[in-house]
Amino acid sequence: MAFTYFFRDMQTLEMIRDHVVPALRTRRYIHVWDAGCAMGPEPYSIAIIFRENMGGMIFRNVRIHATDIDESNLFGKIIEEGMYPREQVERIPKDIFARYFAPAEKPDHFRIAEEIRRCVSFQRHNLLTLDPVRNGFGLIVCKNVLLHFKEEERIDVIRMFHDTLAEGGFFVTEQTQKMPAELESIFEPVVSNVQLFRKVE
Ligand SMILES: C[S@@+](CC[C@H](N)C(=O)[O-])C[C@H]1O[C@@H](n2cnc3c(N)ncnc32)[C@H](O)[C@@H]1O
């Protein structure tokens, strides 16, 4: 089972809060692609960050398209249920946890608020097909996935992300991943030393 938990990468969530949400908030619809989302803590954490930083009405226009190759064919059901064991939710800041989680019927499990669950949908998808799941994304998050690909595959996947981003859309990957030199001219770094980029052409 893929390793992941809620609020795994606070630095990325803070960058989304500080740079991405303010830039996208005025758009009519905000589409986010979480590519390689595992069983849901990452897309749900992103959904919570959006909700924390915008009013409920605007948040209704946010759609998080969570995809994964999901070789075990389990993630769709887990994400739809939105119920997670204590060890996957215990790093969430206490105030946020109190606002969005309630004890579930299963002992030591917690369920995410309906408002957040509604915002996230899951689809099985293999990034190496290079088929975008839709166009016009404001943000694409692909973390701890590209490292498993060969260099040429990484370039093709990131180029596909670029094509499917809306004008001025953002792409974020993990700290240890570098933008391939071939693609440096089509993305600009938003923050130095952090892997958050904005589409420039
Ligand atoms: C280590 S997990 C990362 C989960 C999450 N992004 C995070 O950082 O917490 C890597 C995920 O990539 C998915 N994955 C691997 N190859 C993939 C592919 N070709 N297309 C889509 N997802 C893939 C795996 O199924 C797994 O869920």
* Whole-angstrom distance, CA of residue 133 vs CA of residue 153: 17
- Tell me how far apart the 2 most distant CA atoms of the chain are, in Å: 51
Q: Whose CA is nearest to atom 27 of ligand 1?
A: 38
Residue 201: predicted pLDDT: 74
Residue 2: predicted pLDDT: 57
At 74, list the tokens: 């389990």
- Alpha carbon of 67 to ligand 1 centroid (Å): 9
Residue 144: predicted pLDDT: 95
- How would you classify the pairing of strands 165-172 and 196-199? antiparallel
At 21, list the tokens: 């949400």
Q: State whether the beta carbon of 133 lies less than 6 angstroms from ligand 1.
A: no
Residue 194: predicted pLDDT: 81
- Alpha carbon of 99 to ligand 1 centroid (Å): 28
Residue 3: predicted pLDDT: 65
pTM tops 0.85: yes
Question: Can you give 65-112 as a three-state secondary structure string?
Answer: EEEECCCCCCHHHHHHHCEEEHHHHCCCCHHHHHHHEEECCCCCEEEE
Residue 8: predicted pLDDT: 87
Q: State whether the beta carbon of 157 lies less than 6 angstroms from ligand 1.
A: no
Residue 193: predicted pLDDT: 75
Reading the chain (201 residues) residue by residue, the pLDDT tens digits are 556 789 988 999 999 999 999 999 999 899 999 999 999 999 999 999 999 999 999 999 999 999 999 999 999 999 999 999 999 999 999 999 999 999 999 999 999 999 999 999 999 999 999 999 999 999 999 999 999 999 999 999 999 999 999 999 999 999 999 999 999 999 999 987 789 999 997
13, 68, 177: residue to mutate for ligand 1 pocket, most atoms within 8 A of CB: 68
What domains are there in the chain, each with its CATH number? 10-199 (3.40.50.150)
- Alpha carbon of 4 to ligand 1 centroid (Å): 10
Q: State whether the beta carbon of 89 lies less than 6 angstroms from ligand 1.
A: no
Please enumerate in sequence order all residues whose Cβ is within 8 A of that of 201, keeping only pairs 6 or more positions apart, or say none.
Answer: 185, 186
32, 69, 125: residue to mutate for ligand 1 pocket, most atoms within 8 A of CB: 69
- HSE of 165, CA atoms in CB hemisphere, 13 A: 25
- How would you classify the pairing of strands 30-35 and 62-68? parallel
